[in-house]
A and B are shown apart, each in its own frame.
Chain A
Amino acid sequence: MDISGSGFWDLLVAAAADDADLCGKAAHARACAFAVRIDDAQHLLEFHRGVLARLEGKDLTGIRFSISGPRSEWEKVITGAIPYARAINVFHGRLRVEGDALSVLWMTPALWQLWRVSARLVGGIGHG
């Protein structure tokens, strides 16, 4: 599965919409747009009232924070091989979170749920 490509993120957005736990946790968070950068690829996402959506285009207006890093580290997060916290840890991880730190914290519970869903999605694809 090419986690850098749009196809994966479309599938993840759809899986997120079907996940009650994720929607429940994200519903309590403020609307927030953020960028996921995997090597040179970028995907813009937004949580709004519990629903995750992809943003069209490359306009970074309104993007509150970004999570960036090499594909190898992203694969570990997306497959659930390592916890998200480890991947973004200043000492242990290779992902970097930049931008509005408060927004990052507000979105933390929803993001953990998102990576749980991504692990299930990738596992399902892998075994399918």
Chain B
Amino acid sequence: MAEIVGRYVEVRGRQAYYEACGEGPAIVAIHTAGREGRQWHGVMQALAGRYHMFVPDLPGHGKSWPLAGNACLQDAHEIAQWLREFAAVVVGDSFIITGCSLGGNLSLLLAAVAPEVRAAVALQGCDHTPTFTETALDLMTHPQVSLMHANMDFSMSLVGSEATPEGRAFSEWGVLSIIPVAQQGDLRAYGRCDIRPLMDKVKVPVLLAHGSEDWLASREMVEATRGRLVNAPLVRMVPLPGLGHFPHLEAPGRVADMMLTFFDEAGL
């Protein structure tokens, strides 16, 4: 089994934690809202023979320190900029970007605005996700709300029927160990994300993968996004039957195989 190594690096004057694994062309992977990079362990190990993956915990998530004032980022463009700064320090000036859910949206955004991005693999990625009300977002840090309880059924309804037991358990752990202010910031970024006008700026290969049992980032939303990627040289959309909102966690081997097929086709 390939070794995964954790390190700290300074980004914007704060210690950011990331994990790296493998050798080869660089891939930066982004976790889902409110979670952390361990979601990607299975994919990291599966790709280690051909790719060098870097997986940061966003500020205030996992082992990364929050920003000044114990703040987390709350805007997709701000998170994308932080990721560029992280990659500039750790990865260099050329990498493949991938991510899931909010991370999928961010992958598409970075593919549009960051010339250092060679290709994007967006799992459950969409360019417009107005799926949370401001009231719901505000309540996430209310003193009388426990997200551990209030979010559990919602979150687990997003997990596909073919998720591995380990993936399902870690998804549940993600809710049990939630950091409300981190979750709130990410879902503000997700709920307010509208990068539709930028999709025609994407000029690198894009893989859109969709866990077919995900009702939140629906197939229709992903297909609409695909329709706006009019200038990308290669766009593939791959359905993942039996999987839900967290394919990389639910079935890392399937996701890794899918990525390798795409990378081969794109000459990456």
Contact = CB atoms under 8 A, between A and B. Distances in A.
A92 B145 contact: no
B257 to A, nearest CB: 29
Interface string B144-188: 110001101110010000000000000000000000000000000
A99 to B, nearest CB: 11
B139 to A, nearest CB: 6
Interface in B188-208: none
A92 B218 contact: yes
B132 A92 contact: no
The size class of the interface chain A forms with chain B is: 10 to 19
Contacts of A102: 139, 142, 144-145
Given A102-B144, A102-B145, A89 B131 contact: yes
The size class of the interface chain B forms with chain A is: 20 to 34
A10 B191 CA distance: 38
Nearest to B215: A86
A89 B136 CA distance: 10
Contacts of A11: none
Nearest to B130: A91
Contacts of B153: 83-85, 108-109, 112
A105 interface: yes
Contact of B135 (A86, A89, A101, A109): A101
A109 B149 contact: yes
B196 to A, nearest CB: 15
Interface of A: 82-86, 89-92, 101-102, 105-106, 108-109, 112
Given A89-B131, A92-B218, A106-B150, 10 more contacts: A85-B154, A85-B215, A90-B130, A90-B131, A90-B132, A90-B133, A92-B215, A101-B139, A102-B145, A106-B144
